Copies of this chain bind each other. A is one copy, B any other.
Amino acid sequence: MFGVTCQAQENLWWKTPTVSPEINSDKTVTFRMKAPKAIKVQVTGDFLPANGDKPGVAELQEKDNGIWEYTTPTPLLPELYSYSFIVDGLKTTDPSNVYLTRDVVTTSNIFLVDGPQSNLYAVNKVPHGTVSKVWFNCKTTGNDRRLTVYTPAGYEKGKDKYPVLYLLHGMGGDEEAWITLGRVAQIMDNLIAQGKVKPMIVVMPNGNVDQQAAAGYAPTGFITPTIELPHTMDGTYETSFPEIVKFIDETYRTNAKKSARAIAGLSMGGFHSMHISKENPDMFNYVGLFSASARFTGRTESPIYQNCEEKIKKQFAQKPALYWIAIGKDDFLYKENKSFRDFLDKNKLKYTYLETADGHIWRNWRTYLCEFSQLLFK
């Protein structure tokens, strides 16, 4: 048992062998890794130009003491970037950067190059809201399900009732996706402090009906599920959604009216937002489709996916304050969005449209959240 003790004591040494990444004063970025036995050390990430359909890769050079180093040849534009190292072909995280984010099954490090937009993703000297992991008992699925809830600074001590934004993740995501990769708490803290966004509650449920919670927080344990196709886009989640709204209205000081409710989601979460809002035309006054899978057909013949055109016309007849659609020019769902917009145009159903560069990436979804949230509850 002596060995176990010493092993634990080693962990008290909290100094890593090198600093990485280092954001230099000219906004170039230096990556370093101690790997004395390695033959080849590379870095890959969305800060590098892509190589055809593959992510860019750059080689680190070995310096003294087995420390490998790479500095970007030019300054990086302000943004939140993800990266990983590749040591002799094996992808690994940066041991000098203990903050990790997970995108489905890929764990990466992130870093921030400061600028007016990316500064919204940083923890700044502003009042901070609370981020809670909450469970609710869902009758539709017959089990307990985990939600992430952001309440704005001042919620606990005040008496105000707040509007609510329901914010839905994409396929492969879960209740952790928006709060980590989407930087929801930082974006809300910063935009509320700047007076650009109304203080609101943001609810981020788990949209995979097979999962009670993200890996590590579910009764199924710690191991990554190897699910062939998630049990989703089959109507169940959409059917259960009013239960989530009811739970939130019973649990938090919400303004429990259509005028104070928004729903938005990315990719599959956009699909869910479209169907949930059309099934409940009296529930949401604001709808946001971010790079949405904007199709009327699900994976089943669920009643949710029947008579969609008629239901959407009925939803618009009740005049939602905002129906907002955003997508990048390179998104693989661009064509699907175009068809949906054609349907809306043909029927003179009024929506707001934002077209950006790039594709189906978190950089866009963070930007869309910043834009959309400023239009809510005003």
Contact = CB atoms under 8 A, between A and B. Distances in A.
Interface of A: 1-9, 11-16, 19-21, 35-38, 46, 49-56, 87-93, 95-100, 102-107, 109-112, 122-125, 127-128, 130-135, 144, 146, 153, 156-157, 170-172, 213, 215-219, 221-228, 250-252, 328, 330-332, 357-362
A173 B346 CA distance: 59
Contacts of A90: 35, 37-38, 87-88, 90, 92
Given A56-B3, A87-B90, A128-B144, A104 B14 contact: yes
Contact of A1 (B50, B91, B112, B216): B50
A102 B104 CA distance: 19
Contact of A103 (B11, B53, B54, B213): B11
Contact of A111 (B3, B213, B222): B222
A251 B22 CA distance: 39
Contact of A132 (B7, B91, B131, B330): B131
Contacts of A252: 156
A135 B125 contact: no
Contact of A54 (B7, B19, B358): B7
Contacts of A49: 3
Contact of A218 (B54, B92, B123): B123
A100 B96 contact: no
A124 to B, nearest CB: 6
A352 to B, nearest CB: 24
26 contacts: A3-B51, A3-B53, A3-B54, A4-B50, A4-B359, A5-B330, A7-B46, A8-B361, A12-B104, A12-B170, A12-B172, A14-B104, A16-B105, A87-B88, A88-B88, A88-B90, A93-B93, A96-B223, A98-B105, A99-B215, A122-B221, A123-B219, A123-B221, A131-B132, A132-B133, A135-B153
Contacts of A227: 14-15
Contacts of A170: 12
A172 B123 contact: no
Given A104-B14, A221-B112, A357 B1 contact: yes
Given A50-B7, A172-B12, A98 B224 contact: yes
A332 B110 contact: no
Copies of chain A in the complex:
2
A1 B359 contact: yes
Contacts of A7: 46, 50, 54-55
A100 B170 CA distance: 22
Given A221-B112, A360-B5, A19 B131 contact: no
A1 B50 CA distance: 7
Contact of A2 (B50, B97, B109, B146): B50
Contacts of A105: 11, 14-16, 95, 98
Given A11-B172, A109-B222, 4 more contacts: A1-B359, A14-B227, A87-B88, A127-B135
B102 A228 contact: no
Contacts of A98: 102, 105, 107, 215-216, 224
A55 B4 contact: yes
B330 A88 contact: no
A69 to B, nearest CB: 15
B100 A359 contact: no
Contacts of A37: 88-90
Please indicate which of the listed interface residues A109, A130, A170 has the most CB atoms of chain B within 10 Å of its own CB: A130
Contacts of A222: 97, 99, 109-112
A118 B252 CA distance: 34
